[in-house]
Every structure is written in structure tokens, then in C-alpha cells.
Amino acid sequence: MSDVIRLLPDSVANQIAAGEVIQRPASVIKELVENAVDAGATDIRIVVKDAGKTMIQVIDNGCGMTETDARMAFERHATSKIRSADDLFALTTMGFRGEALPSICAISEVEVKTRTEDSAMGTRLLIEGSKVMTQEPVMCERGTVFTVKRLFFNVPARRKFLKSDNVELSNIMREFERLALINNKIRLHIDTGTREIDLRAGTLKQRIADIWKNSINMQLLPVNVDTSLVKIEGFVSRPEFARRRNPLQFFFVNGRHMRHPYFHKGVLSCFENLIASDTQPCYFIKFTVDPQTIDVNIHPTKNEIKFEYEQQIWPILTATIKAALGKFSAVPSIDFDTDALPIRPLKEGEIPSAPELEVRRDYNPFKTETYRPERVDKNWESLYDSFKKETHKENSGFFGGRVGTEFPETKSVSSFANSFREGFSSDGGVDNSAASDGQDASSSFQFEEDLKKEVAPFCMQYADKYIISPSQDGLLIIDQHRAHVKVLYEDYLRMVKAMKVVSQGVMFPETVTLDENQRSALGEIEGELKRMGFALEYESGESWSITAVPSMLKNVNPGDIILRILDSVTEESANYGKEKVGEDSILQRIALIMARSSAIRRGRKLTSIEMEHLMGELFALPDPGLTPSGNRIFCILDEQKIDRMFGIN
């Protein structure tokens, strides 16, 4: 049998490595900018054409390379960062494996112009698919210019699966934001063809303000602590500025961006009971530790880092953030110097007046009145009618404010209940038959007692978030928030398909600030937003005003809904690409966000009529079991399960 194991050619090995290191144009920018930072550059410029598919150029004023170094830099595992394995445990540079440049040149055409400070001439190197085409002297500035063209030209499958230009630009801008935050003392400039950003060198807070430009620096609290184990510095947002969608959350360690779920959970624990459960704070936190106590060589992109003392760093991190929240009065407190109710001060010479009381001059406390049941009956009917009107007015917002929807009578809801629960009596009300004037005292007393009796409830609420009701199959437990989301979602889609969406103008238009990704998403779904009843007008710069909203939205912030919709569409495009984000999918996503924003929250107490109405509308749907995102809405505890809980055989 002949030998079958052979060494792979360098070109093949480089393409395999490229699949791990270079996943999209943003990966090229990350690797080249990190090399420029390691070269000591103080000014880095990035030029992108066609979202990086046609050209990516990175220009720096670093130390440059000699003719020999320029040629060696594209060999696998050739690096100036480490000399031995021991250096892996004391890394101070961004790169160290020597895989980035050979991976890039294996899947593209690369041109390099570089010159050191003490050289009169520089060198130009042209490589195509790992093959050196030419190397020659050239006149150029000190530093290095990398030009990457025709990315993935020899890997058609990888190029085919690149996303749309908007999605790739979004990923490039996200990577640029990370690099800019890490290297805030370096001037950075990027030109994507549609957007140009020039960031000055400055402090971390200045860099944050320069990138997002929407007064975010006024929302941040400083975090700073220095111990023998770790130095933590950065910023966290005030609790009132927590976001439901797209929170800005960044961790850095020793000048390197990282993802760390353990520390992320620690930050969230500091905001417990300070922010809503469906929101998250923004944070920009830098760790400085001994390089020997972390391992950065556990992932090809070097974004996952293992800490040796992460359990000891956790309490330091949480204590520092809690101290910042308390120091800057971000934690709500009680002001005992403020009156509970406003009191109008008396004017000079004014005498305080007593409240006016209605006095019955014919009232005699020693005279016993004969009870008149017909009067009580009449009063009860008027009170019940007014109760229905007030409850209908209150619940018009609860059920989405749909035009033409009548408030459900108890009897109609009860008739629905009979379809899935036996033995329920819809006639639980009070017998209002008129009594004769000659009714004796005992029957009058009995009638008054009947009025005080509560109607047997069809359902009850537990923990202000679950609705519990008996059914044919067992005990029915419903999540009230998910149930209302499902009902509103189906209603919104039905109204859109029937062309019955009514757009309502806003008296005071709300202004929202949109970043590059959100503006791109707005251009893609502007037609769908109009179909749902939204209207936006461009103001200036990055500001847009919301001039109209769907009339079916009640008691919600339109600006928050718009931002959540745009962030959701951007996220879906990044995951699946523009070709899979169809019009129906966008409308469904918009309807789901509107439903989640308008639905009742967990923790709200409901009346029995509200619960019965919600259950009636839920079980009238063809698929009441799951939310649009696939979460369970209700579950049933059957008799056998309940018996097992009590140990009954």
C-alpha cells in the first residue's frame, strides 16, 4: 500500500486558514488596522468601495517595512510579534500568529507600498492568490498602504454567499466602531462612498460622542477602579437610558475587543430592579490585567478571551458599577422634603375655607327609614350602566383601540367559555326582579345580601401575570402578555391586508436620530412603514421626525417603536441577507414589534372582564397556542398531574 499522507501546498493551506480568519470584508479591515496599530501608526485611513467587494485600502503612517520584511510578511506564521512559545503568555500586540496577511492574499489581489523612515525608497509588492507577481522599488510616504482588490475572486462559493452591500457596510461600520473605541488615541478616518467619518484622537468619552453624535455622552456615568488584580475604567449608561433594542455594549481587555457573557451578566445584575426587564444598559468598559493571566489564543478572531481570575474580578466589577450608580444619584431615592400633594399658598388676608358639604335638612338620625328595595334596584342599574361605560372607555386602550369593537357583555364571554369548559353558568349576575312596596324586612335584608355577593369568577389572575381558569382538560394557565401580543399581532396583520389601517397625524412630531445602519434599513422598508400607518420626514443631518402613527397604537412611544423596527430589520438582514427579507416578512416583523409594544405587561392587575375578553379573543384565533416567535402562550395542568403533585394514586 502506497503512502497517502502528503503536505498541503501553501496556497491550499492559506485558503483553509482564510476561511477561519477572513469571513467577510469587515474581517480584512480588522486585521489590517490591527497591524497598523502594532506598527505604531497615529493616523489610519480606510477607503472602501462596493462594501469591500471591489476594493479595501488601509493607509497608515507607522514604521513601515523593509524590502525583505515586506516579502516575508506574507509567509505563513511569519511574524515580528513573538519569538518563542513563552511570548504567547505575555502578549502586548494585537497580532501574533502570522496568519492574517497570508490568508488575505490567498483569496484576493493585494498590493503593498511601504517605506521605513530611514530608507530613501520604498518597495511595492503585488500578490495574486498567494502567488507573488512582482516586487519593485517605488517612491512612497513613510508607512504602509495595503490595497485589497477582488475579495474571494478564487473562492466563488464564499463570494456568492456575501450579503447585500447594506449588510456588509453595516458589518464594516460595527467593526470600525470597535476599532475606534479601542484606539481612541489614534486618528481614524473611513470613507465608504456613502458615508465619511473622521475621528480625532482624544479620550474615550470624546470618541464615544464623535461616533454616535446623539448626546450619548450626557447619558454616561464614569466607572473607575484600580486594584492589584485588575484596572477597570469606562462608562455605563444611566438606568433611565436603557434600551430595548441595539444597546451599545463593549468590553475591552488590554486594548483588545472581547465578548464575555460572564462579565456581561455581572453588569446586568447591577441594574436589577432599576430598569425594565426587557431593556439593557449601554456600557463601554476597559479591563487592564497582567497579560500572563489571560489567554487570547482560543478563537481564530481572538474575540473570546479566558481570564484566570474571572471569579475574583466579578465582585470588583459589580461593586464599581454599583458605586458609580450610587455616587451619581442614578438610583432612585425618596425626597422627604417634598410635599405629597401640592398645596396652594394662601394670599394675604385670605381665610381658609372649609369644604362644602351637602346637608339634608329633613334628616333625622332617630328616625328609622323603611328599606325600599325598588330604589336599591334602580341605583344598582344606574351604577352598573356607568360601570360598563367607564370600563369600556378604559379598556379601549387595553384592547388596542380598535374602531367599531363593542365591549363584551359577560353573557357573551360566558357563552364562549362553554365551548371549552362544561358546567359554567353564564347567569352569574344578580336577580334584579322588582319587589313589591309591601315587602317585609327579612326579604329586603336578603336582597341586600344578594347584592353584596360576588359573582363566581370565570378566571383569576396569579402574580399579576398569569390568568388561571378551569377547562375540560384541566387547569388552564395563560401568560397574559404573550396572549395579548398574539391577539394584537393578528389584528394588525388583518387590518393591513384589508387596507383598513388609519394613519393619525402627530400634533408634536417626535425627532429620532438614525445611524448609518438605521438609515439604510429605513430606505428598504419605507413603503412597509407607510402601509402600517407611519410617516417620517427628513429634517437635517441624522435627524428624522415622526409625523404620523397608526391610530391603533395607544400609549406607546412612536420613536421607540421606529428604532426597534429599524434595528430588527438590520439584524434580520445581517443574519439572512436582503434576498430573504421579503415584504411579507417585514410587515410581520413590524406588526410583531407593534404588538409587543402595545400589549399589556406582566405585573399589571386585570379585572375579571378584561381577563375574560382577552381569553375570548385568544381562543377565537385559529392557532392560539404559540406566539408569532414560537413561544408557548398557555399550558394545561390535567387532573393526573395535579394528583401526582399531591401524591394521589
198 plus 271 within the same structural domain: no
Q: Residue 200: its pLDDT value, please?
A: 92
245 plus 309 within the same structural domain: yes
133 plus 234 within the same structural domain: no
Q: What is the pLDDT of residues 532-579, one digit of tens each?
A: 889 998 887 778 899 998 888 877 888 888 888 887 777 665 554 444
Q: Residue 87: its pLDDT value, please?
A: 52
Q: Residue 89: its pLDDT value, please?
A: 55
The last residue of a domain, from among 277, 309, 327: 327
Domain-located, residue 573 = yes
Domain-located, residue 428 = no
73 plus 125 within the same structural domain: yes
The last residue of a domain, from among 202, 232, 251: 202
223 plus 235 within the same structural domain: yes
Q: What is the pLDDT of residues 413-439, one digit of tens each?
A: 344 444 444 433 333 333 433 333 444
Residue 525 sits in a domain whose CATH number is: 3.30.1370.100
Domain-located, residue 434 = no
Q: Residue 266: its pLDDT value, please?
A: 94
529 and 590 in contact (C-beta within 8 Å)? yes
265 plus 212 within the same structural domain: yes
284 plus 303 within the same structural domain: yes
Q: What is the pTM of this model?
A: 0.58
Domain-located, residue 124 = yes
245 plus 136 within the same structural domain: no
Residue 50 Rama label (left phi>0; alpha psi -120 to 50; beta):
left
Domain-located, residue 293 = yes
90 plus 71 within the same structural domain: yes
Most distant pair of Cα atoms in the chain: their distance: 122
Closest C-alpha among 266, 274, 212 to residue 242: 274
| Domain count for the chain | 3
How far is 108 from 15, CA to CA, in rounded Å?
A: 10
Domain-located, residue 427 = no
How far is 327 from 321, CA to CA, in rounded Å?
A: 10
Q: Residue 327: its pLDDT value, please?
A: 83
Question: β-strands 143-149, 109-115: how paired?
Answer: antiparallel
How many other C-beta atoms lie within 10 A of the C-beta of residue 542? 16
Closest C-alpha among 94, 409, 454 to residue 256: 94
Closest C-alpha among 128, 121, 100, 125 to residue 113: 125
135 and 128 in contact (C-beta within 8 Å)? no
103 plus 229 within the same structural domain: no
28 plus 139 within the same structural domain: yes
Q: Residue 243: its pLDDT value, please?
A: 84
> Half-sphere exposure of 398 toward its Cβ, with a 13 Å CA cutoff?
22
Residue 307 sits in a domain whose CATH number is: 3.30.230.10
Q: Residue 1: its pLDDT value, please?
A: 58
Residue 30 sits in a domain whose CATH number is: 3.30.565.10
145 plus 217 within the same structural domain: no
How many other C-beta atoms lie within 10 A of the C-beta of residue 631? 11
Domain-located, residue 371 = no
The last residue of a domain, from among 143, 172, 202: 202
Q: Residue 11: its pLDDT value, please?
A: 59
> At 336, phi and psi to the nearest 5?
-80, -10
Per-run averaged pLDDT (10 residues), the chain, 649 residues: 64 56 86 90 95 94 90 76 55 60 89 92 91 91 93 84 84 92 94 90 92 79 93 93 85 90 93 85 94 75 79 94 83 49 58 57 59 42 46 44 38 42 37 40 43 53 91 90 94 87 84 80 86 87 86 81 82 51 74 89 88 90 90 91 86
Q: What is the pLDDT of residues 602-636, one digit of tens each?
A: 888 998 888 989 998 999 998 899 999 889 999 99
Domain that holds residue 181: 10-202
How far is 487 from 617, CA to CA, in rounded Å?
A: 7
- 115 beta partners: 143
Domain-located, residue 62 = yes
180 and 211 in contact (C-beta within 8 Å)? yes
